[in-house]
Amino acid sequence: MPSTMKTLSRLQEIVGEANLIKDRDRLKAYKLDGKTPKVVVSPATVDETSRVVAYAYEKGLALVPRGNGTKMKMGGIPKRVDILLSTTRLNRITDKDCDNLTLCVESGITLDEVQKTLAREGRGYFLPLDPPFSDKATLGGIVATNASGPKRLLYGTARDLITGMKTVFPNGDVVVSGGKTVKNVSGYDMCKLLIGSFGTLGIICEMTFRLLPLPEKEATLLLSFQKLEQADGFVREIISSQLIPASIETLNRPALDYLKRQIPLSTDGNYLVAIGLEGVREGVERQMAEIGERGKRYGCVNAEAMDGEEGEAFWKALRDFSIWSDPDLISLKSNFFLSKHGEMIASYERMTAESGVRSALICHSGNGILYSHLLTAKVSRSKAEVLAGLIQKMTLEAVKNGGNLIVESAPSSLKKRIDVWGEARSDLRIMQRIKEEMDPRRILNPGRFVGGI
C-alpha cells in the first residue's frame, strides 16, 4: 500500500484540495461500522471519478462509494475502508426530455430535487420511486441498493424504470450501457446487473429513467381492524379484485402507535391497512368508495380518508419511520410468497414476543415484503445473543415461505454475530464469479455485500 501522504497528494491532484477531507476529526463523521476512512474524496465529473477509481485499483486501496449516507447502515462490516468516494458533487440533470418521458441524471442528485424540478415542467411529471428518506437519498444510492417504497406495487422498482447507465468500473474504465430507448438485444443487461449490486461492481455515475405524468388525483384510505385475520382477509380481497391501488400497507399496533406520535391520526384498532390510490379523479373516487364498503364487510372499526398535504405527510412518516435515527435500532426486511403476508406478520409477532422484544411491523402487503423494526434499548452483549437467535428464527421463517431476510440496520456488535444478508442462495457462486471477473482486486466495498463480496 502506498504511503498515506503519497495517496493524499495524488487524490488532491485529481479533485482539488477543497474536495478532499483528511482531517481526523472530520473523518469521524464518515465512520462505517467502527472503521474510519483515511480520506474522503468528492469528484465533480465522471472523468475525475474514473481517475480516482483507477488510482485505487492500481494501488489496491479499498474504495467505498457514498451519497448522502441514508443507506450506509446497510451491509456487512467492511473489510477495509481506505477511500470513501462521495458522489454528492455529481448532481446535475444532464438531459430532460419530458415529451418523450425520459430523464438523464447524475448519481449524486437527490430524488426530492428531481421531483420538484419535474413537477414544474409543463403539465407536471415525476419519477415513480418513493424509497425512504427521498428528501436526502441520492439517486445513485437508491439504484445501488435497489431501494423502493409503498408505490412499488403500482410502478415497480428501479429495475423497471432505468433504460441506461454510465458506470466507472473498478479498473477506471467508463462503461455506457443502454440509453434513452429500449431495444430488444441479446446478451447481458448491464443495467440490471448493476442495480442492487451495492457498489461492488462499479461506481454508478449517470442514469437514464422513464418518467410519467403526474396523476390527476392522489388519495389515501386508512382502515382499522381489531384482528389480524380481518385485516388479512380484507387485503386478500383487494389484491384479487379489479381495483388498482398504488400501495397496500399493513401495520401492527406498535408501528401505528409510533406514527401517531409523528402525525395526527384518528384511526384506532390493533392493525391498520393503508391504501394509496392515484390516477384519474373519477377512478380514484370510485375506488375509495368501493374499498370503504369492502372494509366494512371485514369488520373495519374506523376508516379515515386523506388527500393533499395530509396524505403526503402520512406516507412520508410511514416510509421514513424516523426512529431509524437511533443507532441501536434493528431494522429487518423479509420477502416471501405474496399469499403468506398474514401468516408472516403473525409469526413475527409471536417470535418477537417470546423473545421479549417489541416489534413494529410494516408490510408491503401487495408485494410480499415485511419490514420489522425491533424496538430495543442499547444492545448489550447478552441481548445481542438473544437478538441474533431471534433474527435467525425470523430468517428461517422467511426462507420456509419462499423468501429470505436481510438486516438493513443494526449495531456492529450484532452484525458480528449474524449474516446480515440472510441465508445463502444457490446463485451466490454466480455472484462471486462476476465479482472476480469485474473486480479481481476486490477494491469496491469489500466485505459489505452478499457472501462477503
The 10s digit of each residue's pLDDT in 124-156 is: 999 999 999 999 999 999 999 999 999 999 999
Question: Residue 84's CB: how many other CB atoms inside 10 A?
Answer: 23
Would you say residue 434 lies in a domain? no
Q: Give the up-direction half-sphere exposure of residue 369: CA atoms within 13 A in the CB hemisphere.
A: 17
Q: Print the domain residue range for 9.
A: 4-88
117 and 173 share one domain:
yes
pLDDT tens digits along 383-393: 889 999 999 99
- Find the angle CA(342)-CA(347)-CA(353) to the nearest 5 degrees: 130
Q: Is the pLDDT of residue 402 over 50?
A: yes
User: What is the number of domains present in the chain?
Assistant: 4
Would you say residue 432 lies in a domain? no
Would you say residue 444 lies in a domain? no
119 and 227 share one domain:
no
| Three-state secondary structure call for residue 70 | coil
Would you say residue 446 lies in a domain? no
116 and 201 share one domain:
yes
315 and 330 share one domain:
no
| pLDDT value of position 380 | 76
Would you say residue 232 lies in a domain? yes
Would you say residue 369 lies in a domain? yes
pLDDT tens digits along 80-130: 999 999 999 999 999 999 999 999 999 999 999 999 999 999 999 999 999
Would you say residue 276 lies in a domain? yes
Would you say residue 442 lies in a domain? no
Q: Give the up-direction half-sphere exposure of residue 321: CA atoms within 13 A in the CB hemisphere.
A: 28
248 and 165 share one domain:
no
370 and 338 share one domain:
yes
Give the C-alpha separation, 8 to 40, whole Å: 10
pLDDT band at 1 (very low <50, low <70, confident <90, very high): very low
260 and 309 share one domain:
yes
374: domain CATH number?
A: 3.30.70.1130
Of 68, 88, 108, which residue sits at a domain end?
Answer: 88
142 and 201 share one domain:
yes
Strand partners, 32: 35
User: Grid coordinates in use for 281?
Assistant: 379523479
118 and 196 share one domain:
yes
| pLDDT value of position 188 | 63
Q: Is the pLDDT of residue 421 over 90?
A: yes
pLDDT tens digits along 425-450: 888 999 999 999 999 999 999 999 99
Q: Is the pLDDT of residue 346 over 90?
A: yes
pLDDT band at 183 (very low <50, low <70, confident <90, very high): low
* φ, ψ of residue 405 in degrees (nearest 5): -140, 135
In 3D space, the residue among 331, 330, 333 whose CA is nearest the CA of residue 404 turns out to be 333
Instruction: Give mean pLDDT, residues 178-196.
Output: 74
110: DSSP letter: B
Of 182, 213, 244, which residue sits at a domain end?
Answer: 213
203 and 127 share one domain:
yes
Output the average pLDDT for the chain: 94
Of 21, 54, 88, which residue sits at a domain end?
Answer: 88
| Three-state secondary structure call for residue 337 | coil
195 and 267 share one domain:
no
Whether 39 and 21 have beta carbons less than 8 Å apart is answered as yes
| Three-state secondary structure call for residue 170 | coil
In 3D space, the residue among 213, 211, 96, 93 whose CA is nearest the CA of residue 162 turns out to be 211
306 and 356 share one domain:
no
| Three-state secondary structure call for residue 97 | strand
